[in-house]
Structure 1
Amino acid sequence: MSQVQAAPPRPNVVVAVLAVGGIVVSLMQTLVIPLIPRLPSLLGAAPADTSWVITATLLAGAVATPVVGRLGDMYGKRRMLLVSLVLLIAGSVTAALASSLVPMIAGRVLQGLAVGVIPLGISIMRDELPAERLGAATAMMSSSLGVGGALGLPASAILIENTNWHMLFWTAAGLGVVVTALVLAFVPESNVRTGGRFDLVGAIGLSAALVCLLLAISKGADWGWTDGLTLGLFAATVVLLVLWGWFELRTRGPLVDLRTSARRQVLVTNLASVMFAFSMFAMSLVLPQILQLPAVTGYGLGQSLLVTGLVLVPSGLVMMATSPISARISRARGPKITLMLGALVVALGYAVGAVLMSAIWQLLIVSALIGAGIGLAYGSMPALIMGAVPVSETAAANSLNTLMRAIGTSVSSAVAGMILAHMTISLGPVAMPSQDGFRLIMGLGSGAALITIAIAAFIPNRGVRRRPAVSRPDEMVAAAR
């Protein structure tokens, strides 16, 4: 049965709707940051328990990303996009109604399950947009992860200072409803499907491995890195990944096609993505603390949470502004060069930050430089991934790349937290992170960006710039070979 469409999808509208959806979903990552110190009193729970409000979202997103990507390839990317947005709305409403820890964690889990919106949006763009629009559109969608994160802090600070804290989540629910309506109205469903049967065993195995890994990384500092539970989770991760890989190589229609993922271009891009995410997340951990630490420390700027958020806004705007530049460079020189250039700009930004951190205008320059590098690099990653996988695996491949970035940011957070916990100064009875600790983290961020360049150098040049996006079913066979 054929369907008659009243009008072809309008590329500008599709791109705008999907990009807004990506920004709204990424807002969930930073939305609760201003609430963290208040959560124990607001929810009547211990600080160690309220940390699960953050950890639960991280774990849910890691589990959902590869699963939703595969389901999108099988049953429709728009359909799974709508499912993800409904989960976001449900989670936001649950958190808005929460007055204790358990429903709050439940709401945050549901919000985390919506993270797949960004890789799904990139995949929809590949299916629906003309080739000449694809590069700029996917670059903007990819950078929406950073844009939403940058805008979330000042937005939540404004809401907390002027309204009840529950409005954070009611606002998130309202934004989710708006995006859902826009998707229903303007985003078409692709006819590109893989079919087959969903790999439930593979999904359970990968989810278990990811939960063990990210739980160990995120809670290791609290439990102790040599604690039996932490070491046991790391060991379980290795065992589970080995068993999962063995199963995936022997099953038909695997959750993740490891043979495709092992292609040099895909594998190296994912490795570079882990390292780059480690680098770029250091900014989110250092700059807010420098801005908010009391001036009596000699290096803290003593600013409010609102001012802190506003200082970070330009980095998000710069990310969005550099997205079309990233696409132009990729068309002219190839996405490999764009990734390396973006990493170089980030390395430069951290090098400047290690020296300039004594005034707001200096941190504005640092955040803008790093934001520009992130916009360049994040815009190139989908192009590298989609240039090496068949169109029928686009959502799964982009989801795996998004997952690699999440692992990189988790490791970055754990390393930075460990450094700042050990490199402190005493201010009366209170221990505070030292300036040397901040400089060390910036140095690590710069070094990780340089390592990203070294890894990206191994991405093959062959076909990276010339190869068009595969979009027709008759090209799928050729692309898979």
Structure 2
Amino acid sequence: MPPPVPRTAPAPDGGPAAPRANTVVAVLAFGGIVVSLMQTLVIPIVPELPTLLDAPASDTAWAVTATLLAAAVATPMTGRLGDMYGKRRMLLVSLVMLVAGSVTAALSDSLTPMIVGRVLQGLASGVIPLGISIMRDELPAERLGSATALMSASLGVGGALGLPAAALIADNFDWHMLFWASAGLGAVALVLVPLFVPESRVRSGGRFDFLGGLGLSAALVCLLLAVSKGADWGWTSGTTLGLFAAAVVVLLVWGRWELRVAEPLVDLRATARRQVLVTNLASIAVGFSMFAMSLVIPQLLQLPEATGYGLGQSLLAAGLVMAPSGLVMMATAPVSAAVTKARGPKVTLMIGALIVAAGYGLNILLMAEVWHFVLVSCVIGAGIGFTYGSMPALIMGAVPASETAAANSFNTLMRSIGTSTASAVAGVILAQMTTSFGAVALPSQNGFRTVLAIGAGAALLAFAVAAFIPRPRVGAAGTVGSEAVVEAAASTSAR
């Protein structure tokens, strides 16, 4: 493939000119936010789906579960394919999936096409790790830290901003407009990416590990299906236990295969490097702690005031309370990058974990007024901005440039496993700790406080795990970080 034609004159140091670099970052971050909107897109209509699709509630729940499973399967695969055949190419394929899924769901009036559409939307989940990897290959060294922090935070930004936007659309228009709107945003990203984002020249080549992909997909589907549906099926039911057992067995067989094959889907030896391994473990805890906020705050805001602890707000109002946290995540991206430059990404991750834990502790004490939740969500959002901004730097500092997309995708998968686990754990706690409200059993205030305490504990666990990440050396450019990142940026600037 011929190299992309520069759209602006090179900067004096040989790297991309500042306007072009700014445009690349803006377009990739926009794409990340559009994809992350899929997390909250259907939340406003979930209670109405059985009526809208003329199907039982147990079946319409697959409109959420299918997207989760598809994202888990697609993320590591698109990362590996991006390293092999081109990161921008796979990013465009992912956006095509998003648009196709949105149109399919927008045209649906029954369950099957809705689930097909939601699966296709889930297959677009690799956009964020692919975008981070393109930034590593294309941006000058001085822009890399803040850009990757912003791109990584876009996962939370889209989720925070998507809820009020989706609620506003659902309240004022036909529900199909939710999907037409996502199709339109995806189409805009699909046009902008080829216009302004260059294709990375860094490729790993080789053959795609189809058996490895099949094995990992089977293991993830078994694991996440058991986690997400265990409460409905019963945690001790044969189906749930069988899926957990199958996940363990398939993962063991898959791991043995990946260690023996010449060109594995996931380089387990690289993943076992201390910096990558510990970062991925911390990412599971961070993903868990992040999602606890999304589960608790909207429910507390919407419960009736007569409960004594609910605030009786609408879904739209609850979304608007959460929205500032997304803006805070974006605002903390450059701060996160500055801390990483001065003290290293390990310190940034640890600071972020402490801020998240402090936010949950604050929420346990403050839950009586709407502004309490605005404050708490902003504090937690700031912590998430720090943690999500540090992870790409830690991962990219330990793997070669030719494996960046696969490594970032695997890290994103670890965060997703954390969020899925948080949903299951919180669901069990809130189902067990209830209070009577008329003829209905509602989650009790102590139940919510317990989930918040567990979220704080998960953040503190992430802090403790991050303490074992090896401290990176100071690069030649004077920035704290791995030599791999510094060399990659220097190579980009020399092009």
Q: Which band: TM-score by shorter chain?
A: over 0.9
Deviation at residue 467 of structure 1 after TM alignment? 2.3
Deviation at residue 6 of structure 1 after TM alignment? 4.2
Paired letter, 1:395: A
Deviation at residue 473 of structure 1 after TM alignment? 11
SS at match of 2:260: coil
**1:332-364 residue CA offsets vs partner (Å, 9 max, x unmatched):** 000000000000000000000001001101111
Distance 2:146 2:430 in 1: 38
Deviation at residue 184 of structure 1 after TM alignment? 1.2
Paired letter, 1:40: P
Which residue in 2 is equivalent to 1:68? 78
Which residue in 2 is equivalent to 1:479? none
**1:135-187 residue CA offsets vs partner (Å, 9 max, x unmatched):** 00000000000000001110011101111000000000000000010001100
Distance 1:227 1:4 in 2: 55
Deviation at residue 4 of structure 1 after TM alignment? 6.7
Match of 2:68 among 34, 48, 58: 58
Distance 1:346 1:77 in 2: 32
8 Å CA contact 2:141, 2:490 repeated in 1: no
Deviation at residue 385 of structure 1 after TM alignment? 0.2
8 Å CA contact 1:127, 1:471 repeated in 2: no
Is residue 324 of structure 1 aligned with residue 334 of structure 2? Answer: yes
**1:187-209 residue CA offsets vs partner (Å, 9 max, x unmatched):** 00011111111000000000000
Is residue 357 of structure 1 aligned with residue 372 of structure 2? Answer: no
Paired letter, 2:157: V
Deviation at residue 129 of structure 1 after TM alignment? 0.2
Distance 1:125 1:74 in 2: 17
Which residue in 1 is equivalent to 2:193? 183
Which residue in 2 is equivalent to 1:339? 349
Distance 1:385 1:4 in 2: 27
Which residue in 1 is equivalent to 2:11? none
Which residue in 2 is equivalent to 1:413? 423
SS at match of 1:431: strand
Which residue in 1 is equivalent to 2:287? 277
Which residue in 2 is equivalent to 1:392? 402
Distance 2:324 2:418 in 1: 23
Which residue in 1 is equivalent to 2:7? 7
Paired letter, 1:159: I
SS at match of 1:358: coil
Which residue in 2 is equivalent to 1:138? 148
8 Å CA contact 1:77, 1:124 repeated in 2: yes
Which residue in 2 is equivalent to 1:82? 92
Distance 2:4 2:179 in 1: 39
Identity among equivalent pairs (%): 70
Which residue in 1 is equivalent to 2:172? 162
Paired letter, 1:7: R
Deviation at residue 388 of structure 1 after TM alignment? 0.4
Distance 1:466 1:14 in 2: 23
Deviation at residue 428 of structure 1 after TM alignment? 1.1
8 Å CA contact 1:126, 1:471 repeated in 2: no
Is residue 367 of structure 1 aligned with residue 367 of structure 2? Answer: no
Which residue in 1 is equivalent to 2:386? 376
Which residue in 1 is equivalent to 2:482? 467
Distance 1:202 1:329 in 2: 38
8 Å CA contact 2:104, 2:113 repeated in 1: yes
8 Å CA contact 2:139, 2:489 repeated in 1: no
Structure 2 counterparts to residues 239-250 of structure 1, below 5 A: 239-250=249-260
Is residue 49 of structure 1 aligned with residue 59 of structure 2? Answer: yes
**1:248-269 residue CA offsets vs partner (Å, 9 max, x unmatched):** 0000110000000000000000
8 Å CA contact 2:136, 2:489 repeated in 1: no
Tell me the C-alpha RMSD between the 2 structures.
1.4
Task: Return the TM-score normalized by structure 2.
Answer: 0.94
SS at match of 1:249: helix
Distance 1:5 1:342 in 2: 39
8 Å CA contact 2:275, 2:394 repeated in 1: yes
- List 4+ stretches of structure 1 deviating above 6 A: 473-476
Deviation at residue 463 of structure 1 after TM alignment? 2.5
SS at match of 1:188: coil
Paired letter, 2:473: G
8 Å CA contact 1:217, 1:410 repeated in 2: yes
Paired letter, 2:304: P
SS at match of 2:435: strand
8 Å CA contact 1:390, 1:470 repeated in 2: no
Distance 1:378 1:160 in 2: 30
Task: Return the TM-score normalized by structure 1.
Answer: 0.97
